[in-house]
């Protein structure tokens, strides 16, 4: 450790300079060679699918987060990537395998989907490319491709949901009809009602629930059956609404608030520049470490009494003695010795200006 | 100012912190001026690096120098580690601390003579000149501002100076120095560079090895030490301690 510290402080510039020098070389090169980028941003309002039971959805993930993950994952699929690329000037690249790979790489690096911080429904789709046209095209294409895909998916899913909710409604209505009929028949039989055709129930009937548990049970069943019918009807209506909206291309769960604009000025790439400089600093630090290790390993000189191996009796340690006066060159090497011998008669030449 | 080494202490000392221009000898900038210096003795010059004498004091105390008459060789593995600096520092401190002892600093490195220049004294006749000519080595003694401290420049240049240092006369010269001075400090050439140094250290009673911190590789230090007589080796002086780690961090590390 002592040798390490000694080597560091003795050659501090040699050790400290590499990180800064490399960073200072890399920063302007990175700045000059960094491609100009244009960014087009789309703001989207997203919501959950209305035909799904809210209780079945994860309440800890916001609609924006869910859609963001979905869209990001979709961007990594070949079919979606091709769908997006075909809507842009990148389409010709899709003719070859290599070109397709290049498109995938461009979209992977150029398109980012993020949920707006502190928001639950707002989604930002950013397309960053070397030309403003491409940035705009890709941003628009992502939105269009996703909307189309969503619409088709929504139609399929809502059709399935409509069928499901319809059958549920039918079943619920059958159950409600049966429960109502049972109630009416019982009420008629017991004399709580005048007729079984749905005529108003007599006032006695209101009090009959208090003393006739079977009648109360039938009433509760009828009410429950009616609630099931109502719920099924609401779900069916939501599914039908979604289906209708999807059919018309107006998905209420994915509404573009801020459509993409053609960028007019390039974006600053400060973040990339910082990354490059930080990487250069890290490389420089590594180099400094290597230099330091070599300095320590290469220093075989004696810097402390303990360095003497095998141990030899040390009579004393003389400090470094320096004469700081400006002296003529020929006597500079002997200045310390002359200063020590001064007591006995040796002497240093007069400092400049004292003669 | 007293320098205490340890965590959190800056080990770099600054000559500027001393008002050297106010030293007791204003003419110090032109020491000797080509003449032999007049030793000033006590009350002479102050250390330009305040507190550094305490470091040298610690070194000679641990090495056990100053209490007996002996010849000590100061060597290093390679050049530029601070042998001459340590030799001069030890010589000056011992001369100040033991005024009754006579100290002699002897330069033996013919390849890079510096002592005459530093003390601004005549480089000749030096050690090799006297030994080569078979003259008394006392001719090479140069006085300093401290009465009990003398220096001997290596002299030359001389062809075959290495042979001179290996000759039997060199041993005689060192014996002559033993007679005139209580402590003789031999500033020896680098062991791994100049083979004369091994012979010279053999003539000494004890050896101190100087190691430049942060410069000399451990392998070279071990190699140099392995060539020395283990019984004569008093220890190692680590020179030029200078940690780049901030004091507060060293303090944390020490805890």
In this prediction the ipTM stands at: 0.83
> Are the C-beta atoms of residues A111 and A105 closer than 8 Å to each other?
no
Across chain A, mean pLDDT equals 83
pLDDT tier at B1 (50, 70, 90 boundaries)? Answer: very low
For residue B204, tell me if it sits in a domain.
yes
Vertex A204: Cα angle to A199 and A210 (nearest 5):
120
Q: Determine contact: B232 vs chain A, CB below 8 A.
A: no
Quote the pLDDT of residue A205.
61
Q: Determine contact: B119 vs chain A, CB below 8 A.
A: yes
For residue B10, tell me if it sits in a domain.
no
For residue B182, tell me if it sits in a domain.
yes
For residue B56, tell me if it sits in a domain.
yes
Nearest CA in chain B to A323: B15
Angstrom distances, CA of residue B70 to CA of B63, B126, B205: 12, 21, 6
The mean pLDDT of B182-197, rounded to a whole number, is: 92
Residue written as token pair 């008459």 = B69
Cβ–Cβ gap B114/A337 under 8 Å: yes
Cβ–Cβ gap B120/A307 under 8 Å: no
Spatial separation of the C-alpha atoms in residues A92 and A155, rounded to whole Å:
31
Q: Residue A353: which H helix or E strand, with range?
A: none
For residue B6, tell me if it sits in a domain.
no
Instruction: With a cut of 80, say whether residue A317 has pLDDT above it.
Output: yes
Q: Residue B194: which H helix or E strand, with range?
A: none
Quote the pLDDT of residue A127.
92
Quote the pLDDT of residue B183.
95
Q: Determine contact: A322 vs chain B, CB below 8 A.
A: yes
Both tokens of A8, joined, read: 């560091």
> Are the C-beta atoms of residues A49 and A156 closer than 8 Å to each other?
no
Both tokens of A270, joined, read: 């400060």
- Give the pairing of strands B183-187 and A122-129: unpaired
Give A115 or A323, the one with higher predicted confidence.
A115
For residue B68, tell me if it sits in a domain.
yes
The mean pLDDT of A305-309, rounded to a whole number, is: 82
Quote the pLDDT of residue B177.
94
A235-272 pLDDT, tens digit per residue, is 888 888 877 776 665 556 778 888 999 988 888 778 88
Quote the pLDDT of residue A194.
65
Domain count, chain B: 1
Nearest of B106, B114, B78 to residue B209 by alpha carbon? B78
Q: Which domain holds residue B246?
A: 15-254
Backbone angles phi, psi at A271, to 5 degrees: -60, -45
Nearest of A313, A292, A159, A325 to residue A236 by alpha carbon? A159
Closest-CA distance of chain B to residue A289, Å: 18
For residue B1, tell me if it sits in a domain.
no
CATH code of the domain containing B55: 3.40.50.300
Give B175 or A243, the one with higher predicted confidence.
B175
Q: In the A/B pair of chains, how many CB contacts fall below 8 A? A: 201
């Amino acid at each position: 450790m002592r040798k390490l510290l000694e080597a560091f402080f003795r050659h501090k510039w040699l050790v400290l300079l590499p990180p800064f020098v490399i960073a200072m070389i890399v920063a302007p090169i990175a700045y000059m060679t960094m491609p100009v980028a244009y960014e087009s941003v789309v703001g989207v309002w997203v919501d959950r699918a209305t035909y799904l039971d809210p209780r079945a959805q994860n309440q800890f993930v916001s609609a924006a987060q869910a859609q963001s993950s979905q869209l990001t994952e979709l961007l990594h699929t070949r079919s979606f990537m091709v769908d997006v690329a075909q809507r842009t000037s990148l389409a010709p690249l899709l003719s070859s395998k290599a070109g397709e790979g290049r498109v995938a790489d461009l979209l992977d690096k150029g398109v980012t989907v993020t949920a707006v911080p502190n928001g639950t429904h707002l989604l930002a789709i950013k397309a960053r490319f070397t030309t403003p046209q491409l940035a705009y095209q890709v941003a628009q294409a992502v939105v269009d491709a996703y909307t189309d895909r969503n619409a088709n998916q929504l139609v399929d899913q809502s059709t399935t949901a409509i069928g499901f909710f319809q059958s549920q409604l039918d079943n619920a209505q059958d159950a409600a009809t049966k429960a109502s009929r049972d109630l009416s028949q019982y009420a008629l039989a017991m004399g709580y009602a005048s007729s079984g055709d749905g005529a108003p129930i007599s006032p006695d009937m209101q009090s009959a629930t208090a003393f006739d548990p079977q009648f109360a049970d039938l009433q509760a069943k009828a009410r429950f059956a009616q609630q099931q019918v109502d719920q099924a009807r609401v779900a069916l209506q939501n599914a039908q609404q979604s289906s209708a909206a999807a059919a018309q291309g107006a998905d209420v769960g994915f509404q573009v608030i801020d459509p993409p604009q053609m960028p007019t000025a390039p974006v600053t790439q400060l973040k990339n520049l910082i990354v490059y400089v930080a990487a250069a600093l890290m490389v420089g630090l590594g180099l400094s470490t290597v230099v330091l290790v070599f300095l320590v390993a290469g220093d075989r000189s004696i810097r402390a009494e303990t360095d003497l191996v095998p141990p030899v009796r040390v009579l004393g340690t003389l400090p470094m003695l320096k004469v700081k006066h400006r002296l003529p060159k020929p006597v500079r090497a002997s200045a310390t010795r002359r200063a020590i011998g001064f007591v006995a008669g040796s002497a240093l030449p007069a400092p400049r200006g004292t003669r | 100012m007293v320098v205490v080494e340890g965590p959190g202490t800056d080990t770099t000392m600054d000559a500027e912190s001393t008002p050297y221009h106010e030293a007791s000898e204003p003419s110090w900038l032109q020491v000797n001026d080509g003449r032999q210096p007049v030793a000033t003795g006590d009350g002479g010059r102050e250390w330009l690096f305040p507190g550094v004498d305490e470091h040298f004091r610690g070194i000679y105390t641990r090495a056990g120098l100053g209490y007996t008459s002996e010849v000590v060789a100061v060597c290093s593995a390679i050049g530029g580690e601070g042998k001459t600096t340590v030799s001069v520092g030890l010589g000056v401190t011992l001369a100040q601390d033991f005024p009754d002892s006579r100290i002699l600093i002897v330069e033996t490195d013919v390849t890079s003579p510096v002592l005459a220049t530093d003390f601004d004294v005549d480089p000749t006749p030096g050690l090799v000149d006297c030994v080569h000519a078979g003259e008394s080595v006392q001719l090479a003694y140069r006085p300093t501002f401290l009465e009990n401290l003398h220096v001997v420049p290596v002299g030359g240049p001389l062809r075959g100076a290495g042979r001179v240092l290996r000759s039997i006369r060199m041993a005689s010269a060192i014996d002559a120095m033993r007679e005139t001075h209580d402590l003789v400090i031999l500033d020896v050439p680098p062991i791994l560079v100049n083979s004369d140094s091994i012979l010279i250290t053999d003539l000494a009673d004890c050896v101190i090895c100087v190691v430049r911190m942060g410069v000399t590789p451990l392998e070279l230090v071990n190699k140099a030490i392995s060539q020395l007589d283990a019984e004569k080796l008093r220890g190692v002086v680590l020179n030029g301690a200078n940690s780049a780690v901030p004091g507060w961090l060293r303090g944390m590390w020490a805890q």
